[in-house]
Structure 1
């Protein structure tokens, strides 16, 4: 079997491509690497900005002490709950609405579709939103993390486009056999749109996990605080927190290299918050190209 010969131009082009993408990957990865090595390095050196490319004076006391901070475990559970429940609700609603909007027999289909899409471009602002949420009883209420995110126009558009790429003959044959809309959706359409659902799930999960403004405006009860909101507060109070942690360690256990500083608290809390989504994101990445591109170009 003859090996395909590559011309000089193609070799140069591939070399440039690989170089550019490797550099781009390093640029994207380095901030997380920098954050991590500073959380496990000597806090004295970190505070002086001397940790750049590799860790020095490695220790794990930052994580041990920060994980003991009041409210962090409960905030993690709230964030996990809102991410899982909110993502599931968003994916299901987007899938079903995207499927319905492909049905020409749907009453007022064009009107309702445009009505949903137009909300992408216009909103009333923070104050009307807050008043509406308050009147609906969604202050200090976990449902405030779920209900407003169920209908997402962008996700509906993605799924609608994807469903339209599926041969109509599959649905028509099921209809001839007496299948209703729900049967067709759950048994035929839903399994076929798994790639775009995975894409939507990742987008929604990242959005839910990173959100903290709704907590800032709607929640005064600490039991509803999310991890991102706790991070927001800790970042603003890092100096005070560092003092509290140092005092809780006691004079016997004080070590200049491991002594908590505002910088170490900020970096450690940031790393704890960002790690879960970093672990989940690569797993679903394989679905992105297929999920986004199928149906985007029609012949």
Structure 2
């Protein structure tokens, strides 16, 4: 059987060229800031501070990373950020899956009322001061759990999972009920394995939000042992000049021209700490990318 070859017209070729060009420009705009940060961290610090590094690195060295990783509190803050991201993401995914499934069950008492009660919190909140007082009354201030508990229930994620569960044929659940499966067994054996794409999407949202968050540390935490990596980045950026002087003094006063190129500057501090914080979360997305598009599309088709 001969394959029918579709003849490409001149307008099709023109459209493809324009389309690829536009997306190439958008990709470049998105990627260049990260590339700019990285090449400035491995280039001569004097050239970087003068704004001479734009396209290619010059005077390549890796001393910035060695010095920044020695900054006080960085390992502890990294551990806090990793712990809150892993635990917070797991709790958010489980809560979103369970509540999304519950809100699709006709047997649930007051299902529509509770669903609307959850959704309305997307539009209204009491504000920072009442929220702080609530956290304080619950003894969550200066506690690791202030990073996890308030972020467990996310209405947007619940809506995505609920919509996805509604796309699953009801015959699967009905067949399981006929075979004697209970409510929780259906949830673990039928719903969770089927909802892998949307749960991966929720995991990406939750992980990025947890890793990038620093305002909760700013508002609720004063104990430096509980500072997250992002908040430490925030303080380091604000104190970049004094940190550069501190590192310079620790290296020693007698600096030659070769050593001057690797001596910390406010710019090198900002760039290097930013890269250290941003890179880990950039490696998360490729792991879930194959689920992301399918999950977000199916989870948002129905209203």
Q: Would the TM-score normalized by the shorter structure come out above 0.5? A: yes
- What is residue 268 of structure 1 aligned with on the other side? 272
Q: Are the equivalent residues in 1 in contact too, given 2:77–2:227 (CA < 8 A)?
A: yes
TM-score scaled by length of structure 1: 0.97
Q: Are the equivalent residues in 2 in contact too, given 1:234–1:241 (CA < 8 A)?
A: yes
Q: Quick check: 289-298 or 41-50, which moved more?
A: 289-298
- What is residue 256 of structure 1 aligned with on the other side? 260
- What is residue 59 of structure 2 aligned with on the other side? 57
Q: Could you tell me how far apart the structure 1 residues matched to 2:207 and 2:245 are?
A: 34
SS in 1 for 2:283: helix
Q: Could you tell me how far apart the structure 2 residues matched to 1:175 and 1:12 are?
A: 56
Length, aligned pairs only: 298
Q: Quick check: 247-256 or 105-114, which moved more?
A: 247-256
Runs of 5+ unmatched residues, structure 1: none
> Following TM superposition, by how much is the alpha carbon of 1:253 offset from its aligned partner in structure 2, in angstroms?
5.8
Write out per-residue CA displacement over residues 164-192 of structure 1, whole angstroms, 9 at most, x where no aligned residue: 00000000010111111100010011000
* Alignment pair present for 1:121 and 2:123: yes
TM-score scaled by length of structure 2: 0.96
Q: Are the equivalent residues in 2 in contact too, given 1:37–1:54 (CA < 8 A)?
A: yes
- What is residue 137 of structure 1 aligned with on the other side? 139
Q: Could you tell me how far apart the structure 2 residues matched to 1:252 and 1:287 are?
A: 55
Q: Quick check: 143-152 or 289-298, which moved more?
A: 289-298
Runs of 5+ unmatched residues, structure 2: none
Q: Could you tell me how far apart the structure 2 residues matched to 1:41 and 1:122 are?
A: 48
- What is residue 176 of structure 2 aligned with on the other side? 174
> Following TM superposition, by how much is the alpha carbon of 1:283 offset from its aligned partner in structure 2, in angstroms?
2.2
Q: Are the equivalent residues in 2 in contact too, given 1:164–1:295 (CA < 8 A)?
A: no
Q: Could you tell me how far apart the structure 1 residues matched to 2:301 and 2:160 are?
A: 12
Q: Are the equivalent residues in 1 in contact too, given 2:64–2:272 (CA < 8 A)?
A: yes
Q: Could you tell me how far apart the structure 1 residues matched to 2:153 and 2:283 are?
A: 26
Q: What's the C-alpha RMSD, in Å, of the aligned pairs? A: 1.1
Q: Could you tell me how far apart the structure 2 residues matched to 1:88 and 1:26 are?
A: 33
